Chains A and B, each alone.
Chain A
């Protein structure tokens, strides 16, 4: 029969096929298994790392947690000599500076994202998007440097006196203009965080389906009206997520803030007053920590910071993902 002839036919010019089941298959199966195991190990390493991070911090912070308990969060005394540690000034400072930064950065960031994704003429989009990326790439210490030598003197000489004379009736703007302080820290945080918010918001807006824009345009809407009606409303939760991601960034920002916030562990109402953040106190005092309890207290501050940022970022990602599937969010 023709078929058997083909099967058992001559070997001239034919590949001899190995039998279907056997050594070759077993070998590749082994190869697959080894490969997959290696991959799983790498993934497991990531898992282990995060757990180790949380675990190590909890362990080294335990002595302080034990000694001060919940009072840690609400006491203002930070006295290394007497070994009394209360983290309130740092929590206050972190929250206030971040809040200030958000007030400035969120409107600016979303506005810039709307420009880039919806309203700008096509030719201008790539260069501006690239420049925004560059702003995000500037290291924190360089911002801090600029903050010390340019922004702080500017604040001290012009902006703070101006605010003091016009809005000085508010306790927010009272007190001597040091230049460094909460307001300066808030401004520099805003500058650092805004490109990040812009980038994420832009991705959110780009994820809004085009059919929505077309629906609005076909009704006779202008570009802005289309953005307002079809895009911003649709991407609302994603934009909130972008803001929250920016907040997460601001909460953990260390160097630039340390260099311009004045580093005084006090809770003050005025925005002109120096302050202290959780990240800054760790940066400044970690290597100076003379006793185990001191170190433990600092690490507890770090643990607090860790928990807060994880919570904020977790919530943010949930919101960002809700618009058009997984929007790419990577630390730029």
Chain B
């Protein structure tokens, strides 16, 4: 597979604590891969290693290879800023920029990339907001503050902001955990709509959510990748006993 994401031998540390141990994983392009596991298993650390966000924390280290569309993001000489430009991320708590309007929030990444002309920006912002299923709700209030929206809307705003720069991959770190069930459902709908358009990796502690939106699922436990497979298979017929124990609720 030249496309998609290929992870080989990735280890990660916080100081001397070894949080990810030798992860090998191949995620299919333009599909949704879910990462599940109990608290502290390293799933958030894992996706932060994909767009080189992990190393931002002081005393954090990564080793290994991560191929995105065939290129190793950890190769010597690679600028992490460029990596993050090509990979978008949505966080657990919505974090729109409060001093900027809805429009400016979505346009932020575009402006950073050098887009200047008003017409271009307007077109791109509208496209992103439509992709995030938010356009109809905000089209008459684009100049309102980013934080004037509801929690679910703010999260879709953050998704639009990430989508605006047309990334190849979208990483989502428990995007619904701070949202109510209705907002959660809308975001899951959105993920299903985006499936096929870009590669999505979603971390979730909600197994039903993983079953609903993803095509493949990886189960992490204590920093190790225990099992990876087609979602339906993993949930109905897990190969590893630990996976089975987690799914049936014996721990976590």
Contacts and interface: CB of A to CB of B under 8 A. Distances in A.
Please determine if A and B sit in direct contact within the complex, based on CB atoms under 8 angstroms apart. Answer: yes
Interface of A: 122, 209, 211-212, 214-222, 225, 229-230, 233-234, 236
B91 interface: yes
Contacts of B51: 218
A279 to B, nearest CB: 38
Contact of B84 (A209, A211, A217, A230): A217
A234 B99 contact: yes
Contact of B82 (A209, A215, A220, A225): A220
The listed residue with most A CB atoms (<10 A of its CB), out of B84, B100, B162, is B84
Contacts of B108: 216, 219, 229
B98 A215 contact: no
A49 to B, nearest CB: 40
Given A212-B97, A229-B97, A234-B98, A220 B91 contact: no
A22 to B, nearest CB: 49
Interface of B: 51, 53, 56, 58, 81-86, 88-89, 91, 93, 95-100, 108-109, 112-113, 158, 161-162, 165
B37 to A, nearest CB: 21
A218 B112 contact: no
A125 to B, nearest CB: 10
Contacts of B96: 215
14 contacts: A214-B53, A214-B56, A214-B91, A214-B95, A215-B97, A217-B53, A217-B84, A218-B53, A219-B88, A219-B108, A220-B112, A220-B113, A221-B81, A229-B108
B85 A230 contact: no
A221 B97 contact: no
B112 A236 contact: no
Contacts of B165: 219-220
A218 B97 CA distance: 13
B58 A122 contact: yes
Nearest to A125: B58
Contacts of A211: 91, 93, 95
Contact of A219 (B58, B84, B93, B99): B84
B201 to A, nearest CB: 13
B53 A215 contact: no
Contacts of B161: 215, 219
A9 to B, nearest CB: 43
Contacts of A215: 91, 95-97, 158, 161
A220 B97 contact: no
A220 B109 CA distance: 7
Contacts of B95: 209, 211-212, 214-215
Contacts of A216: 97, 108
A236 B97 CA distance: 13
A216 B100 CA distance: 13
Given A211-B91, A211-B93, A212-B97, A222 B53 contact: no
A218 B84 contact: yes
Contacts of B81: 220-222
A218 B58 contact: no
Nearest to B82: A220
Nearest to B99: A233
Contact of B97 (A217, A222, A225, A233): A233
Contacts of A225: 112
Given A216-B108, A233-B99, 9 more contacts: A209-B95, A215-B96, A215-B158, A218-B162, A219-B84, A219-B108, A219-B165, A220-B113, A221-B112
A261 to B, nearest CB: 40
A133 B108 CA distance: 37
Nearest to B100: A233
B166 to A, nearest CB: 12
A222 B112 CA distance: 9
Contact of A230 (B53, B88, B89, B97): B97
B145 to A, nearest CB: 12
Contacts of B99: 233-234, 236
Q: Which 4 A-B pairs have the closest CB atoms?
A: A220-B85, A218-B89, A219-B109, A211-B95
A219 B97 contact: no
Nearest to B167: A220
A212 B161 CA distance: 13
Given A122-B58, A225-B112, A229-B108, A218 B98 contact: no
Contacts of B162: 218-219
Nearest to A218: B89
A121 to B, nearest CB: 10
A220 B56 CA distance: 13
A218 B93 contact: no
A122 B55 CA distance: 13
A217 B54 CA distance: 11
Nearest to A236: B99
Contacts of B85: 219-220
Contacts of B58: 122
A221 B84 CA distance: 8
Contacts of B100: 233
A316 to B, nearest CB: 20
A15 B69 CA distance: 74
A122 B15 CA distance: 14
A236 B98 CA distance: 12
A225 B81 CA distance: 11
Most buried by A among B82, B93, B96, B97: B97
